[in-house]
Chains A and B, each alone.
Chain A
């Protein structure tokens, strides 16, 4: 996988994860192109697009578009499943996740993503294990804070 973008229906970016090093200006250009391309698609069209030498898989969940770019030799249908799995993880964590959750707790969305994907590949295929790890990390943070008697993050 090359990158994962989340953006709203108005084209505002909510999350960006890049799996290859790209200069800042290039990133902005790609984001613009992706949002234009994906937002222009008809409602019931195919979820796969071709862009340069990559395949773009996108899926809309409520008001958010999830856009994943994969290499040419990767499996598109599985990429759809990857997106779906990530949404399920977010849903489990936030409880009925909506766009506002991701806006106000973006750093947590990143932490969850980092437990699911790593270096452009799937890291953990079990939902329960990912959730357990996130909870443990959160617990660690809180206990460490209490231990250090500083206000919780």
Chain B
């Protein structure tokens, strides 16, 4: 076919433009000329002009003014103009443009044209950009063409029908009968179209799927014909007869055989035959084998066939061609859950693929390796995975690190191995691990009490060599703070001990504190660790004191706050310091509402939820950090208000009840503090002094209502009279005190006084209550105030 001269001249002109600006100029001129010619009456050059416009459009320039021209050209009687017109329609018009509706009529006419090439243009355009309305309009036409035309048109009509079904699902019913009859055709193009159409219908409608199951024998027959038949020059590709059709039939068989024993049985022989007879030296043979394997694994095939399929995948893994290895791993990934043992056999090859150069292959190998880790192969697999981690591309690091952690957690053969592995990961890829790694690791370390010495030695060494990996540094600081005494003792069974002095350790921590690489959280860890060491070392306490006081004026608010509190601990509450900074107990895996703090190694007493009893013996309030929003009905109390423990971000210096989050958020706790029970027993003692005990129990009445029962008891030897309770709650909470049961408490707990208080908390604020107790005993009046911060069952 002779080329279009005007078109080629324009293309040459555009290509010879040396700069973008020049090119734009040429194109603008051409477009202006084209526009002018569009406006003129019919001349011989219409198709040339539209072709030029389409070229310009491909370069990325706007060409919407050609849309109407396309519509006009399609309606033209000349084939050359129709051809370019339809091409333009497919390129410039899509279903969102209004002009696309205008060509519906032309398409309808052309579908019944006497010339099959005109018909084919219309079919092609409809299948490419037909909107839902167009499809609905023209569906009957397509159905007619499916039944009665030559094979050239039939194959196109079949794919057109596929497009229609995708756009308008309901029309599937219309094409089902015609599709069935098309399977009897000999022409491969028509057959292929029929298979695609049936696949589409079955995927969309389960009932249709049932009906088409009957075609399985026919499909098997066709496949057999293709596989066994001799050389057919028309369809042969590297020795395989029509691989495109084979693959489509296999896919349809897969859909029909899924979840159906009978259908799967009918195809077993055929699949075995294809799997064994197909030549796998070229890509095309492998494409057919690949599809066969996918089908075998998806239907209810017999086990022998499944093994054959997995072996084929294994062979693919050893193939030199990277593409084949890639798809082998993709397929193995899909079946690793169901056929785990079969895949395990190829573990060696898969692990080797970790070392492949190609990033896609590496990714697949990583996913598959992680899926294959089990209790038996954990040690060897972990070695490979850690090796991979040190050399893997950046985008895979996070995935590799978290995969390694999961595997280690599930299958760790020993605690020491587990800790070693995690430390290894932190040293190689510390920057890419997730945030919860640090608390998880800390918990793991605390739980392995026999390895504390070993762990702290390893971490100290790691800290000395590199302080850039934040997670590692945080864990190391924490450990040194906790177990610094073990480090200084200079002896260790598991590993070579270091001979350090206290100064060395403090030097290390100070380096972390001062380094610009340390994140604020890391510095917090380091400061706390330094503080903790004050009870574990003997000589350099002054040094610690000075460090702490320096950071009292640090710009970082968090550090400053910590330093100020530690300073206070040094100055006023030195006698508390040892108790406060004691070793942490074993931390349980947290869960909401779970009672924390098994104080197995604690010397500090069990702390009550309200902590008020001890609050009086501990620090007085720090006025600056008070957030007290209680309505002060009881104003005028001389006694200092108890410190408000769990409010705001104040790092609690006291042992506190974290009434809402007792999940043991480790990063919040000052070292040495004991995590306290969250949900105490239903009845709690909120006050105990001078022989008078006040207990509290609460019961949820409704979503926002709570009934609190206060019970008072007298354990002294003398009677108490005029016992009254007054209560105050935060502003948004409503309170209603019922009448007390009495106002005298006989001696030695002979009788109790109960008082019910109804609370309503519609805004769901943090519920607190201040209770004032007043009574007369042995002729003198007593008054006291207590604050309750947490309510049981709240």
Contacts and interface: CB of A to CB of B under 8 A. Distances in A.
Interface stretch (B2-10, B740-748, B749-757): B2-10
A13 B79 CA distance: 28
Nearest to A93: B1
Interface in A1-31: 13-16, 19, 21-23, 28
A125 B322 contact: no
Nearest to B166: A119
What secondary structure prevails in chain B residues at the interface with A?
A: helix
- Of the four ranges (under 10, 10 to 19, 20 to 34, 35 or more), the interface on chain B belongs to 35 or more
A81 B55 contact: no
B258 interface: no
A127 B1 CA distance: 19
A19 to B, nearest CB: 7
A42 to B, nearest CB: 8
Contacts, number: 165
Given A119-B159, A123-B155, A136-B117, A76 B87 contact: no
A118 B8 CA distance: 27
Contacts of B243: 78, 81
B128 interface: yes
A129 interface: yes
B95 A153 contact: no
Contact of B60 (A28, A125, A150): A28
Most buried by A among B1, B2, B80, B243: B1
A81 B284 contact: yes
Contacts of B436: none
Interface string B714-751: 00000000000000000000000000000000000000
B129 A133 contact: no
Contacts of A129: 189, 234
Contact of B189 (A42, A49, A126, A153): A126
Interface in A43-72: 44-50
Given A46-B358, A48-B323, A119-B127, A153 B287 contact: no
B54 interface: yes
A45 B78 contact: no
Contacts of B3: 104-105
A103 B420 CA distance: 61
Contacts of A22: 94
Given A77-B327, A125-B244, A126-B189, A44 B322 contact: yes
Contacts of A119: 127-128, 159-160, 162-163
Contacts of B84: 107
Contact of B2 (A14, A48, A150, A152): A152
Contact of A45 (B1, B95, B127, B322): B322
B323 A76 contact: yes
Interface string A126-153: 1111000100111011101100101111
Given A77-B287, A153-B4, A153-B47, A125 B80 contact: no
B291 interface: yes
Contacts of B193: 121, 123
A107 B8 CA distance: 11
A33 interface: no
A22 to B, nearest CB: 8
A121 B196 contact: yes
A125 B188 contact: yes
A111 B79 contact: no
B192 A125 contact: yes
Given A21-B129, A150-B44, 5 more contacts: A75-B294, A78-B247, A81-B244, A107-B7, A152-B2
Interface of B: 1-4, 7-8, 11, 15, 44, 47-48, 51, 54-55, 58-60, 78-80, 83-84, 87, 94-96, 115, 117, 120, 123-124, 127-129, 152, 155-156, 159-160, 162-163, 188-189, 192-193, 196, 234-235, 237, 242-245, 247-248, 251, 283-284, 286-287, 290-291, 294, 322-324, 326-327, 357-361
